[in-house]
Amino acid sequence: MNLFEYEGKQMMREYGIPVPESHLITSEDAPAPMAYPFVLKAQVMTGGRGKAGGVKVCENEADYKKYAHDILNMEIKGHKVHGLLAEQMMKAERELYLSITLQGVAKPTLIASRMGGMDIEAVSRDNPEEIVKMEIDPFTGLKGYQLKYLAKKLQVEDKQDLFALVKKVQDAFFKAGALLVEINPLGVVDGKLVAMDSKFVIDNHSRQMQAKMEELEAARQSLHAYETPFKEETTITYVPLDGDLGLISDGAGTGMLTLDLLNDAGGHVASFCELGGMTTEEVMYRAMDLTLTGHPEIKGVIIVLIGGFNRMDNMALGITKYVKEHNVTIPIFTRMCGTMEEVGLETMKEAGMPTYNILSDTVKEFVHQVEGV
C-alpha cells in the first residue's frame, strides 16, 4: 500500500521522526490552516508534482485561494490530486537523502547520500561515490561502526541526532511491515534533522498492518475525488524490483519466462505482478493499479496472459477500464490467448490498444520501444 505524503508523515510522527507542522486540506473552500507563509503540496500518487505546478508557496489569502483551487483540480501524470498538505515553511541549511528499502534488494538496506533533494537514481548514476548502502540486520539494526561511517559520509556534525533518527526510521520500517521508507530531502534545520518529505510503502501482505491499512483506507474517503479501490481478496503477488518496466502475468511460470526474456532483451523490470488462480475484471484492474502506482516512474507495462480457466474478455475489460479511468499514457503491451480470446482482442482493439501474438517478438518490441534497446 502506497501512502500519500500526509499519511507517511503521520506514520513518522508515530515513531518520533521529526517532521514539519502540517495540515491536510480536502476542499478548496477550507480556511487557511496556519499563519502565512506556508507551502501547499499536492497529495498525489506520482512524482514530479513540483515541475507540474503541484507545490506552491502561499504568501497571503489570495495565493491560498488560487493555488488550492488550481491544484485540487489538476491531474499530474494522469493521477488526480486527492488533497493538499499545508506545511510549515522551513529553510534547510543542507539537504540529505535517507531511505530503508526492500525493493530490488535481498535484505533490508539503508541507502543514504549527502546529495539530497535530487533524484537518487540520477545521483547513483552520475555520482556513485556519494551513495552509501548498508544491509541491516532486522534483529539488531545497524551496528555502531556503520552509524559512525554513515555520519562521516553524510558530513553530519550532530552524530547523536543522526543515530537517534536512523533508529526511529528502522523502527518505523520494521514495525510497519514496510517495503520502503524514504526521506528526500532529509533537511538539516537549525542543526537538527527533519523529514521534509516522505515516501512510505507498506507491504500489502503485512499481517500486523492489516488493521492500520483498513484505517487509512477508511480515512481516505474524505479526500477530494477519491474512489475506493477494489477490496476483493485476491491471490495477486506483487514483487517490487529496481528497474523501470512493469510486468503482469496470470501465472508464475509465464511471468518468470517473460522476466527472463525481458532481461535477455536488455530490459530492467520495475515490478513483477502475478494474478494467480481464477481472476476477474476487478483483479486485473487491481493488478494494473499496483503496477502503475507501486513504481511511479515506470516507463511501460507488458501484460502476458494465457487463458485456460481465466477469460480474456474479462482481462481486457479490466485493462481498458483502468487505462481509460486513469488516462494512462505510457506504452501498454498485451499478449493474450485462450478462453474468449476473440472477444478480448476486440475489446482491446475498440479501446485503441494494440495486442501481440508471439511472446519473444512482443518482448523485444516492448523493450525496444520503451528502453530504446
Tens of pLDDT along the chain (373 residues) come to 889 999 999 999 999 999 999 999 999 999 999 999 999 999 998 777 888 999 999 999 999 999 999 999 998 877 889 999 999 999 999 999 999 998 767 789 999 999 998 888 788 888 999 999 999 998 899 999 999 999 999 999 999 999 999 999 999 999 998 989 999 999 999 999 999 999 998 886 676 788 888 889 889 988 988 876 555 445 788 888 878 999 999 887 888 899 999 999 999 998 889 887 667 888 999 999 989 987 767 999 999 998 766 789 999 999 999 999 999 999 999 999 988 899 999 999 999 999 998 999 999 999 999 988 6
- How many other CB atoms are found less than 10 A from the CB of residue 171? 16
User: Are 277 and 230 contacting, i.e. CB atoms less than 8 angstroms apart?
Assistant: no
Distance, in Å, from the CA atom of 70 to the CA atom of 58, rounded to the nearest integer, reads: 13
Q: How far apart are the first and last CA of the chain?
A: 32
- Please give the pLDDT value at position 251: 81
Quick one: cell of 224?
477530494
- Give the C-alpha separation, 281 to 42, whole Å: 30
Given this model, what pLDDT does residue 279 score?
77
Q: Where do runs of H (alpha helix) occur along the chain?
A: 5-14, 61-72, 120-126, 144-154, 159-175, 210-219, 252-264, 281-294, 312-325, 341-350, 359-371
Cβ neighbours of 358 (radius 10 Å): 10
How far apart are alpha carbons 221 and 241 in whole angstroms?
A: 30
pLDDT for res 373: 67
Q: Provide the pLDDT for residue 237.
A: 83
DSSP 228: P
Residue 127 is inside which H or E element, if any?
Answer: none
Distance CA 341, CA 357 (A): 11
